[in-house]
Chain A
Amino acid sequence: MSLVQGTHPQTSQPAKARAILLAWPEFNKPAVWLVAVILLIMPFIANGFFLIEIFATTMILGTIALSLMFLAGYGGMVSLMQLTVAGFAAYMVAVFGMSANTNISLGWPWWLATPMALLLATAFGTLGGALAVRTEGIYTIMITLAIGAAFYYFTNQNWAIFGGHTGINTVATPKFWGVDWRSDIPFYYVTLGVAAFCYFAVQYVSRAPFGLALQGVRDNPRRMAALGFNVNAHRVAAYAFAAFIAALGGVLQVWNYRQISPGSVSVGACIDILIIAVVGGISRPVGPYIGAFIFVILRTFALDLLVKFGLDGNRFRLLIGLGFLAIVFWSSDGVIGLWERWRRRAAATDARPSGGKPHG
């Protein structure tokens, strides 16, 4: 990708556009433009319920899962604490900003409280990452899970900062330029904007030298170390970047629900993020958003669906669990992997209309 630009120092205008297209192959596909247009005009199609409950929630959960995808897909580190980082950011927004709980909230305006929350959550995620990179593989999962659980139990017990079991309610959301940014349509565009920003940021970083080095570290850490790369520094930096993305998702989440409580940082919720990322596919940044969409749809409509089939509507988690099991059993790369396998098979049969099963 970067080679193209390097070999043509004096590129003309169309060649430059071509280089951009090569660097961002996404822009070359009509399907991508179609999805982008649909997402942009969504408020004219969907009503408030769909806009917020389905699409904005998908964007938020997808963004948090995207940070896990970045770590797992490009760094080979499966971190279960990304939701914890997001929850930390959400708590910080509530603590520094304004809320009904005046004993805790410091009452800063949102434009001061939000950067503070992002900063602290990124620092928190980086520290956790610095701890987690001391270990590898399954140990990383265990340690990040332990960090997530510790944070959950801590928020549950601590009344001075985190408001204990009830959490912090009626968190103020930004209002400026005469717009209430939490009302349905503006909030939808805010989540869409943040999700798009994070998506392209991950896409960009994955192709930047840092991202390429990170992928090298994932594939062969020993060799990268021999080449002079500081393996651990790359890993910690990856955690910092992912923490920032997760923190953005967390800020949106607290604005969405206007409250934060230990229930939203529980271990089950941490695992939900893993499910979202894995079901969607952790090889590409679009995967988490697909996974989040499936998850949100299931969570919203599984009850009605189950009841319609004459089953107990409360068995939603059973459905999710079985679906997750099926995906990890049969496709290591989630829905994206299934889709690609299906397309390859279709392409193979198209190429040989005379019949015969494709090999492999």
Chain B
Amino acid sequence: MTRFIERHPAWALIVLIAVAVLLWLILAVWPPGLEEAFGRKRVFLNAVFNGITLGGLYFLVASGFTLIFGLMRNVNLAHGSLYLFGGYIGYAISAWTGSWILGFVIAFLGVALVGIVLQIVVFRRMEGQDLRQTMVTIGLSIVFADLMLWAFGGDFYQIQTPSWLVGPIELPLVTAVRSSGEAVYLRYPMVRLVIFVAAVVIGIAMWLALNRTRVGMMVRAGVDDRDMLAATGVPIQLVFVAVFALGAGLAGIAGVVGGTFQSISPGEDTRFLLASLVVVIVGGMGSIPGAALGAVIIGLAEQLGSVYIPTYAIVVTFLIMVLVLALRPQGLLARR
């Protein structure tokens, strides 16, 4: 952080000002002039919160994608299918048992299992062949999409939010002041906040596991020189299978989250594959903090865009990607 400020003082200043303006917009009571020009504060706050929590969901999908790519150089364009599959499993389990949490567990395990099979059957045979991996996973995603369409039909499924998470909670953020001087506070769906916090916890845990533990060290060493690591007696294929299972399982969890926030239907697989592509392009391939930053930026851009410039919302996301590619082709937080 300090190195970044030293190297790019101008950029650091711009970022600082942007963050300060955003914080002021969130915390302060808006003066009437601003409300007239910009719309009501409640709308803005809702868009910001939706953007950040959507960012949490994007992070869950993209972190698995970037973990598999960054650490093992495996290009898995079937990642969106894993997301959708997780969503369907989560729906089936929670509708059958009535337990939302169990849906997460089974979705994680089930999708992780698919990931392990993929790693052993597909990726291990084509190590280092980027293009073939891409083609094969594209083919797989077509097959998966059709199999899921076969099994679940073209319907929209929504996963039921458990009763203890239903309903909004009041946040200590003032949206407006009534004429009587009484402050109106923001009400926001609890389930979204809880899931967002869970995504943050998962992200921090993952970063710590990779950077502060022996297993994480092995994984990173294996990426750089797998022969040497294997020679030191580490069961490297086992480590890689574990990482793949984790990455795939995260996509499965994200599927359940997505099914709770929004809905699960055919076509969501490509949508989330693309979201994770854009997120990791913006954030930087193979970097967990990059995925987090990219996810929040894209989530915010999407939600604020769809509120304030609905026709061009997608262009904003795209422009961010273009801008990042033009200024920093490797992504904002990539190490390269």
Please list the residues of chain A having a beta carbon within 8 angstroms of any beta carbon in chain B: 78, 131, 134-135, 137-139, 141-143, 145-147, 149-150, 153-154, 157-160, 267-268, 271, 274-275, 278, 312, 314-315, 317-318, 320-322, 324-325, 328-329, 332
Contact = CB atoms under 8 A, between A and B. Distances in A.
- The B interface, classified by DSSP as helix, strand, loop or mixed, is helix
Contacts, number: 99
List the 4 closest A-B pairs by CB distance, nearest first.
Answer: A321-B142, A325-B139, A321-B143, A150-B318
10 contacts: A131-B326, A135-B329, A138-B131, A145-B277, A150-B314, A150-B318, A154-B318, A157-B311, A159-B311, A317-B146
Contacts of A315: 146, 150
Nearest to B129: A332
B281 A146 contact: yes
Contacts of A78: 131, 134
Contact of A146 (B138, B146, B150, B278): B278
B314 A154 contact: yes
B145 interface: yes
A160 B285 CA distance: 36
Interface residues of B, number: 35
Contacts of A138: 75, 130-131, 134
B274 A146 contact: yes
Nearest to B145: A317
B315 interface: yes
A157 B146 contact: no
Contacts of B130: 137-138
A328 B145 CA distance: 18
Contact of B270 (A142, A267, A278, A318): A267
A325 B143 contact: yes
A283 to B, nearest CB: 13
Could you say which of B142, B315, B322 has the most chain A C-beta atoms within 10 Å of its C-beta? Answer: B142
A78 B75 CA distance: 14
Contacts of B329: 134-135
A312 B150 contact: yes
Task: Say what secondary structure dominates the interface of chain A.
Answer: helix
Nearest to A141: B134
Residue among A78, A146, A274 facing the most chain B CB atoms (10 A cut-off): A146
B139 A149 contact: no
A325 B311 CA distance: 38
Interface in B292-322: 310-315, 317-318, 321-322
Nearest to A154: B314
B132 interface: yes
A160 B315 CA distance: 14
B217 interface: no
A329 B136 contact: yes
Given A137-B130, A142-B281, A150-B315, A274 B138 contact: yes
Contacts of B143: 318, 321-322, 325
Contacts of A312: 150
B136 to A, nearest CB: 5
Nearest to A274: B138
Contacts of B317: 150
B164 to A, nearest CB: 36
Contact of B146 (A137, A139, A321, A332): A321
Contacts of B150: 312, 314-315, 318
Nearest to A328: B135
B277 A320 contact: no
A267 B272 CA distance: 12
B146 A131 contact: no
B147 interface: yes
B220 to A, nearest CB: 20
Given A141-B134, A332-B132, A317 B142 contact: yes
Nearest to B329: A134
B281 A143 contact: yes
